[in-house]
């Protein structure tokens, strides 16, 4: 008697259509079959997206990761080995790995932003601190300048604030060059003492 033909009933989707043979679809995808890839995507995208969403939480990022997973499936289909596992397991492992990578990358970016924010705050704080120090020092210097004679004060202001040479200071004040140099030297000594600047 001829052997009876064995009929294997395909599991059906909820809409009554037979569920696709994922192994067969993957074999076809590995050969570059885009129609098979579309069917594989339709069959597993909801599962992959749900898994990714549970890990990533953010819907928009979950959609991105899902697309990345299926891009990797398309690119790596030839590497799938049916003897080592099922298609569904291979893709879900891939999805979980990519979802975890996205979470880690997002956390790393957050940590980077936080460190940069702390650094920016510190730099901003340092800038304010420096500005205050400069302002206070400037106030001290102005008060110290008031303790000088008029000629000493004018000569030092012209030389150190106005950028004049000693010769230009002498010409501006109508004084001999030697007198200007002496007045500036004496004035600087006086300022050093008033401000408590070390002689060293």
91 and 40 together in one domain: yes
Give yes or no for residue 167 having a pLDDT over 60: yes
Average pLDDT over residues 81-98: 89
Could you count the other beta carbons within 10 Å of the beta carbon of residue 159?
20
Residue 175 to residue 82: CA distance in whole angstroms: 101
Question: Average pLDDT, whole number, for the chain?
Answer: 80
Let me know whether 37 and 103 are in one domain: yes
Last residue of one domain, picked from the residues 110, 145, 171: 110
Q: How many domains does the chain have?
A: 2
Instruction: Indicate which CATH number applies to the domain containing 90.
Output: 1.10.1740.10
Please report which confidence band the pLDDT of residue 45 belongs to, taking 50, 70 and 90 as the band edges. very high
Q: Tell me the chain's radius of gyration from C-alpha atoms.
A: 40
Token output for 92? 């879900």
191 close to 148: Cβ distance less than 8 angstroms: yes
pLDDT at 52: 93
Task: Give the pLDDT score at 1.
Answer: 38
Question: Of 78, 110, 142, which one is at a domain's C-terminal end?
Answer: 110
Per-residue pLDDT reduced to its tens digit, 14-27 = 455 566 789 899 99
What's the mean pLDDT in 55-71? 92
| Residue 140, domain CATH | 1.10.10.10
**pLDDT score for 32:** 94
Domain extent at residue 61: 22-110
**177 and 184 Cβ atoms separated by less than 8 Å:** no
Per-residue pLDDT at 12 exceeds 60: no
Within a domain: residue 10? Answer: no
Report if residue 94 sits inside a domain: yes
**CB 25: neighbour CB atoms within 10 A?**
23
Cβ atoms of residues 144 and 179 within 8 Å: no
User: What is the pTM for the complete model shown?
Assistant: 0.50
Where is the domain boundary, 110, 141, 172?
A: 110
Decide if 172 is inside a domain: yes
Q: What stretch of H or E contains 179?
A: helix 177-195
């Amino acid at each position: 008697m001829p052997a009876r033909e064995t009929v294997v009933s395909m599991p059906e989707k909820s809409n009554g259509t037979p569920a696709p043979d994922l192994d067969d679809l993957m074999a076809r995808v590995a050969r570059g079959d885009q129609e098979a890839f579309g069917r594989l995507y339709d069959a597993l995208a909801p599962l992959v997206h749900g898994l990714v969403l549970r890990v990533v939480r953010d819907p928009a990022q979950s959609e991105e990761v899902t697309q990345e997973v299926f891009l990797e499936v398309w690119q790596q289909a030839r590497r799938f080995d049916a003897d080592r596992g099922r298609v569904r397991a291979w893709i879900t492992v891939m999805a979980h790995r990519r979802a975890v990578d996205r979470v880690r990358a997002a956390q790393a970016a957050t940590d980077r932003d936080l460190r940069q924010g702390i650094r920016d705050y510190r730099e901003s704080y340092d800038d304010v601190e420096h500005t205050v120090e400069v302002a206070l020092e400037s106030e001290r210097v102005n008060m110290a300048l008031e303790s000088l004679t008029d000629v000493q004060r004018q000569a030092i202001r012209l030389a150190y604030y106005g950028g004049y040479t000693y010769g230009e200071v002498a010409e501006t004040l109508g004084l001999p060059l030697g007198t200007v140099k002496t007045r500036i030297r004496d004035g600087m000594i006086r300022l050093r003492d008033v401000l408590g600047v070390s002689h060293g």
